[in-house]
Amino acid sequence: EEVRFHWEEIREVKGLWVSRNFLSPHKQSTLFSNVHSENWFTQPSNNQAMRFGDLPSWATELSHSVRDSVLAASDDDQLLPLPLDLLLRQPLFDQMIVNQYQPGEGICAHVDLLRFEDGIAIVSLESSCVMHFTSVDNELVSVPVLLNPGSLVVMSGEARYRWKHEINRRPGFQTWEGHELDQMRRTSVTLRKLC
Ligand code: AKG
């Protein structure tokens, strides 16, 4: 049987899941050109676009893929903690942020605003990065997670409410398996649902 989606549970951070093969290279380029055809990033000073309510059709398609990949995981008993109830809500997501980060740029540690429901999805494009998760209850605990291009992260429960996430792309923070990542531009698509 073909395994279409592979999910990895990040055990240290309850409710954190990564699918590293979520988008094939072909689907990554399609998504990237769809993002760019919106003309949000025509000037270097523009690095973020936000949409509420009806999302562009390519983003609706992307959220269907997120649903399909979580559904596929439900066939596997070990992956049941993935937020399956998330699949029942309509629409799955009604808010999107697209971020474009130049090398060296990242995002400070934060917990997403409570005005968004549980179940947050982030798709990465172009360049790998290390996202660090820091426990709200113990700031000394920091868990690095590699986000490769084409990967999907799902944060739910504790991962969404009890852990901060951050991307620190200053020298020294983007190491994975002993190597400093080669930084390039990175684009991410974050999908959420307003409460
Ligand atoms: C946010 O926009 O709140 C994020 O955390 C984005 C994370 C990312 O770019 O991967």
State yes or no: pLDDT of 163 exceeds 80: yes
Atom 10 of ligand 1: nearest residue by CA position: 188
Q: Are 23 and 66 in contact (CB under 8 A)?
A: no
Q: Tell me, in angstroms, the distance from the centre of ligand 1 to residue 174's CA.
A: 16
User: Cα separation of 80 and 170, whole Å?
Assistant: 36
Indicate the residue type of 166: E
What is the pLDDT at residue 195?
Answer: 93
Residue 31 phi/psi, 5-degree rounding, is -60, -40
| 52 token code pair | 């509420």
State yes or no: pLDDT of 3 exceeds 60: no
Burial of 42 (0-12, 13-18, 19+ CB in 10 A): exposed
Domains and CATH numbers, the chain: 8-192 (2.60.120.590)
Q: Tell me, in angstroms, the distance from the centre of ligand 1 to residue 2's CA.
A: 31
- Cβ of residue 127 lying under 6 Å from some atom of ligand 1: no
Atom 1 of ligand 1: nearest residue by CA position: 190
- Cβ of residue 187 lying under 6 Å from some atom of ligand 1: no
Instruction: For a ligand 1 pocket test, name from 51, 98, 99 the mutation site with the most ligand atoms within 8 angstroms of its C-beta.
Output: 99
pTM: 0.95
User: Cα separation of 171 and 108, whole Å?
Assistant: 15
Q: Which of 92, 100, 59 is nearest to 188 (CA)?
A: 100
> Across residues 83-100, what is the average pLDDT?
88
> Across residues 57-79, what is the average pLDDT?
84
User: Cα separation of 109 and 106, whole Å?
Assistant: 10
